[in-house]
Amino acid sequence: MENMPITPKGLRFVLAGLIVMVAGYILLAGGGVKDPEVFNYAMFDFRRLVAAPVVILSGVVVIIAGIMNRGDESENVK
């Protein structure tokens, strides 16, 4: 693992970001109805319109931070 461009700490950040993104997509799921003639207002609640996209974007930010993290200088010097 000495020549890897991403550190083990950065890899943990990437995996944590993926878990956060999956949680956001789970928050986004649901709200459908079986009858297409019935309008369901549950599709437009706070969880689906605000909370889920914020969680998904925060997962993307965590992944970017994990990729861009250079780690400690003692880890990079070899």
pLDDT in tens, 24-51: 999 999 777 788 888 878 788 899 999 9
pTM: 0.79
Question: Cα(13)–Cα(10) distance, rounded to whole angstroms?
Answer: 5
Helices marked H in 1-78 — which ranges? 8-28, 46, 52-68, 73-76
pLDDT in tens, 6-29: 888 999 999 999 999 999 999 999
The dihedral built from the CA positions of residue 23, 53, 5 and 10, taken in this order, carries a sign that is: negative
Whether 57 contacts 17, CB under 8 Å: no
Domain residue limits, the chain = 8-71
